[in-house]
Structure 1
């Protein structure tokens, strides 16, 4: 297992913006009287929320059944919600004082909710939740000010999902991803588009907070955010990025602005160009590779991001796929902790969940699952194992407000691609708006 240095952690504000109205949080009374305490004697019922599709819900409910069989005094009510609605609904339930006991989190959301006093310090339930076997680097994704607020469900990484069949059809060889540069990426994407049928592209537009973070780290050694809680990326780096992506669009390597705008907002894999067999490359998360393989019907692979060995340094990172947290107001924190402990450390849960929430952060479960992986998961598993020896593990969790970055980036990116705002002015605007969001 790779050893990670303890350092500030990188943001993953990569999803739908969190619309947390201050007035709603003001209405939520989060005081020490709401903190966990007491014991869970007798039959109790706890609520557990997560986002995802029907397949994830089915697997999770099977794991819940196994937990209830092993813990007959605890009943778990599962709440499965689609991703685009999940955090809006969570914000509303927190404001009403009715959030679930066990809350699935991701990206910068744990930091936001921890800063607002919503989440339980897991040291209070250490008797029911053993974290000693989990990877230290993954645990650090939810450790703020030396307080552990969440437990990683698994680990994944951000790179390039690629369709070798489209490369072959265009007569373009796959890159050596240990040596390719951003210039190579642009050349390859342009060549694939030129040699493919109309409507098929070398790459989807790559602009997102995660790619900006990765690109900035490679170029300057600092990503989107600073360890001090502000923004680190400079307008010059953002301008350089948009010069790259507008160049890609102008050569036909990526789709027209109208197509990119239509695809913004986290579409399902089957709705993306990659998932429909209309793009050879797309930046994305490794834990989504099986879903993209299923949607496309193609043997997709993962590539190391361009520029990892040709820029100033590496920009990729390993991250907790998702995090299980406990509401500070839970009336049954010990039962909630027992559920999380079962989900992340018990083979009976792993037999159902497998790698749906990322490659397990518990090495014992990785060993347990390795021999039973299907081909789709094996590709993901092998890529994570390979990357674990190549990334540096240092990343910065986005501060409160950083979850707004997705909406900001998408909106300004549309303006750039449609030619309404030049890259230089857009770069200044992006830095200013994200700075305001996190201030």
Structure 2
């Protein structure tokens, strides 16, 4: 997930809206990569989303790969998040997706259901791809229904980013195990003493709500659908809207006006929940110092956190499964690749790359330390594989929660609308 992660998450709305419109893929025979040349050289197509900096880094890693494997050439294609999934959907529907591509957990079941993804276990068995030396069990993220549908390139987990100067002036110290009541009391104290909203808008973040549900013995998704009730969501959104009215949450209109800049970096809020590897953006956007704080808890112990990941998946239609597997293996294990990519896509997933890359800047050091602290705290649990249609559900959650925050929709109406849209997406 990229260095501008909040923007990626918010623009999922457009991509997911498009995905709902296309609920079936054509059952056509595919092309995959180009045919092999007369000298035995083959070409594979590799696509990803992200900012320009990610593209520069990936192109450097491709040059290393082609040097090691001179008989494999790599054609590249990159887009921003929305354009990537719109294009990918069109390619997949036409039976010609890229041979290898960047992926995330929200899309695994969706495209496996449509026969697009290659089960990479056969390539592991053939010795073309190693699943050894992954950190903290992150390799399990790409396993769904007994298949290996993606190989992680990095790991991340939800975090709370704070404006350290504001928290210090308010006399607040966030510690592992603090509760939601303590967090909200801190936001109120920040508003009263520092004259700034304490949070930029937590209640519209699907992945944070998932953690809250997990703390309470539920989850946002089950393998088949939603893992919570209308009453659960009514309570969550009502509580959030009341805190907006109380002034401890940044005015949603202000948040919209500031986009794509974060309200936290703009000084219009003192904390923001996001994926830990997204936090490098705040230092570049803002004038304060920013740190990573623990996720609040219900019981003073469990945060509900898990490791998520960007990963590399392969097309079931590729003509070159061996070469694709060798490419993925190189990209997740080669130490020089790790040095080049750094934490652009999360904390490096394999020990070879994690040990090879030593961050020198404070934000990336903080990210590595945060994941280490979370792992040592023993709060990480297994991720729940998302059902097909999860991307559309996430988009609906973000959009409808935004309408609630802006006062455009009553909570009761918003909850009914969300469940209606979610049920339609998950049934597609």
Q: What is the TM-score normalised by the length of structure 2?
A: 0.88
User: What SS does the aligned partner of 1:56 have?
Assistant: helix
Give 5+ residue unaligned stretches, structure 2: 1-8
- Does residue 251 of the first structure (1) align with residue 267 of the second (2)? no
Which residue is 2:367 aligned to?
Answer: 380
Q: Give how far 1:385 is off.
A: 0.7
Q: Give how far 1:365 is off.
A: 1.9
List aligned pairs for 1:260-299, cutoff 5 A: 260-261=255-256, 268=260, 271-299=261-289
Answer yes or no: is the 8 Å Cα contact 2:159–2:274 preserved in 1: yes
Q: Distance in 2 between matches of 1:310 and 1:432?
A: 34
Question: What per-residue deviation string (whole Å, max 9, x for no partner) do you get for residues 313-350 of structure 1?
Answer: 43221112x01001111122222111111110011211
Q: Distance in 1 between matches of 2:218 and 2:389?
A: 19
Question: What per-residue deviation string (whole Å, max 9, x for no partner) do you get for residues 116-142 of structure 1?
Answer: 110111123222111122247322222
Q: Give how far 1:235 is off.
A: 1.8
Give 5+ residue unaligned stretches, structure 1: 1-12
Q: Distance in 1 between matches of 2:369 and 2:136?
A: 20
- Does residue 365 of the first structure (1) align with residue 364 of the second (2)? no
Q: Give how far 1:262 is off.
A: 5.1
User: What SS does the aligned partner of 2:295 have?
Assistant: coil
Q: 1:232 aligns with which of 206, 227, 249?
A: 227
- Does residue 163 of the first structure (1) align with residue 163 of the second (2)? yes
Answer yes or no: is the 8 Å Cα contact 1:43–1:75 preserved in 2: yes
Which residue is 2:5 aligned to?
Answer: none
Answer yes or no: is the 8 Å Cα contact 1:28–1:94 preserved in 2: no
After superposition, the Cα gap between the structure-2 partners of 1:399 and 1:333, relative to the gap in structure 1 and judged at 3 Å, is same
Question: What per-residue deviation string (whole Å, max 9, x for no partner) do you get for residues 266-313 of structure 1?
Answer: x55xx11123233210110011112222222443111111125438x4
After superposition, the Cα gap between the structure-2 partners of 1:432 and 1:257, relative to the gap in structure 1 and judged at 3 Å, is same
Q: Give how far 1:201 is off.
A: 2.5
Q: Distance in 1 between matches of 2:178 and 2:22?
A: 49
Answer yes or no: is the 8 Å Cα contact 2:199–2:271 preserved in 1: yes
After superposition, the Cα gap between the structure-2 partners of 1:35 and 1:415, relative to the gap in structure 1 and judged at 3 Å, is closer
List aligned pairs for 1:98-247, cutoff 5 A: 98-126=96-124, 127-135=127-135, 137-168=137-168, 171-196=169-194, 200-206=196-202, 207-219=204-216, 221-227=217-223, 229-247=224-242
User: What SS does the aligned partner of 2:308 have?
Assistant: strand
Q: 1:354 aligns with which of 335, 342, 354?
A: 342
Q: Distance in 2 between matches of 1:218 and 1:178?
A: 14
Q: Give how far 1:92 is off.
A: 1.3
Question: What per-residue deviation string (whole Å, max 9, x for no partner) do you get for residues 179-201 of structure 1?
Answer: 3222222222233234345xx43
After superposition, the Cα gap between the structure-2 partners of 1:396 and 1:290, relative to the gap in structure 1 and judged at 3 Å, is same
Q: Distance in 2 between matches of 1:428 and 1:22?
A: 21
Q: Distance in 2 between matches of 1:345 and 1:421?
A: 49
User: What SS does the aligned partner of 2:48 have?
Assistant: strand
After superposition, the Cα gap between the structure-2 partners of 1:90 and 1:340, relative to the gap in structure 1 and judged at 3 Å, is same
Number of residue equivalences: 411
Q: Distance in 2 between matches of 1:191 and 1:353?
A: 40
User: What SS does the aligned partner of 2:279 have?
Assistant: helix
Q: What is the TM-score normalised by the length of structure 1?
A: 0.86
Which residue is 2:19 aligned to?
Answer: 20
